[in-house]
Amino acid sequence: MFNTSQTLSTSDVYYSTTPIDLKAPYNVTTAGRKTILITGGARGLGEGMLREFAKLGATVIVGDLNETRGESVTAEIRMSSGNLNVHFLPLDVTSYTSQCEFFRSARKLSPTGKITTVIANAGVAELGSFIEPSPTKIPLDVDPPEPDMTTVDVNFKGVLYTTKLALHHLRSSPVGQRELILVGSMSSFTSGPMMAVYSATKHGVLGLFRSIRLFPSKRDGVRINMICPYFVDTPIVPIGGKVMLAGLEIAVLDDVVDAVSRLVCDEGIAGRCLAIAPRQAGGVMEVGVHEMENVDAFCRRVVIAMNMQSKMEIFTKFLVDILWLLVVGPILRLFE
């Protein structure tokens, strides 16, 4: 057994820093030395992030399935911002091959050949309805139609691919400058009508965030944070959704961009999750803080156990190497 009261040093765990002071200013000038990748950056939230980071002088590389829109918006932003380090690359997040090419090409476009920041933003709304047609209208001896899995492929499988490749390529940057931001939704915590699959995928992204933020030794010191916006007036909101939201206050794109900018520019934030609600409901706020505190003791026990396992693996390898050098090697040489 291990001592659950053991104090963890920063070399042991960096999975979660203290709660964020959202009233405190942050230094936006740090953005100027970053190379930022944004998936799904041709419109909506991704385009808002692209415009902000281009204005701050960062190298920004966006990938999107909509090549016409991606090329036009990056060309317009290069001209309006004067930042020539703004690039578009075609990207299908549901294809691992496409994502691999996106990351490789992005490193070639980076002035430093490195990637400091990845924002897993690409997403789609609920496509079709998981519960339609009504099962009661289909004879029992007839199979219901196969559900459209595009939402799962984009919103969850695509994020898994992005995360996998981000943790690989972010090693090109110095420790302390490596960061991954996952884009969830208020649906990561709640549910809504006619959004079963969408909510499930966003719950999945939250589960991914909660898991991978735990073990920095396995992540090479990558800061991992998350944002969860409420409805924002972007193309992802379908016509039906806009009708339902008519007359109601929604979240503001500028608040989403500010939340992401804070997470990117303040390099002291790790393992935190920001929600972006309508301003009358509080605007940008931290969520899951109390839940994170409640599970902190459990997480510490798990992290201590994992670190002890890692140290034992290193020690075991050391002993095997010594045994080979002093015993097995000489014996084998006797038979040469």
- pLDDT tens per residue across span 117-141: 999 999 998 887 777 656 567 788 8
- Whether residue 119 sits in one domain with residue 64: yes
Contact of 123 with 183, CB cutoff 8 Å: yes
174 is a domain residue? yes
Q: Helix (H, G, I), strand (E, B), or coil: what is residue 63?
A: strand
Any domain includes 11: no
- Mean pLDDT across the chain: 82
Has 14 been annotated as catalytic? no
Most confident of 101-115, 217-231, 270-284: 101-115
Mean pLDDT of 271-285: 90
Per-residue confidence at 305, pLDDT binned at 50, 70, 90?
Answer: low
Q: pLDDT at residue 156 above 90?
A: yes
The residue annotated as part of the active site, out of 14, 114, 202, 230, is 202
Q: Domain count for the chain, please give it.
A: 2
Catalytic status, residue 198: yes
The per-residue pLDDT for 236 is 57
Return the amino acid letter for 234: T
d(CA 5, CA 15): 17
pLDDT of residue 298: 47
Residues 70 and 133 reside in one and the same domain: yes
Query: Are residue 215 and residue 320 in the same domain, yes or no?
Result: no
Q: Which domain holds residue 321?
A: 295-336
Q: Are 41 and 121 in contact (CB under 8 A)?
A: yes
> Does pLDDT of 309 surpass 60?
no
Residue tagged active-site, from 14, 15, 26, 198:
198
Q: How large is the average pLDDT for residues 61-66?
A: 97
Residue 189 has a pLDDT of 86
pLDDT at residue 10 in the model: 40
State mean pLDDT over 54-76: 97
Q: Is residue 7 part of a domain?
A: no
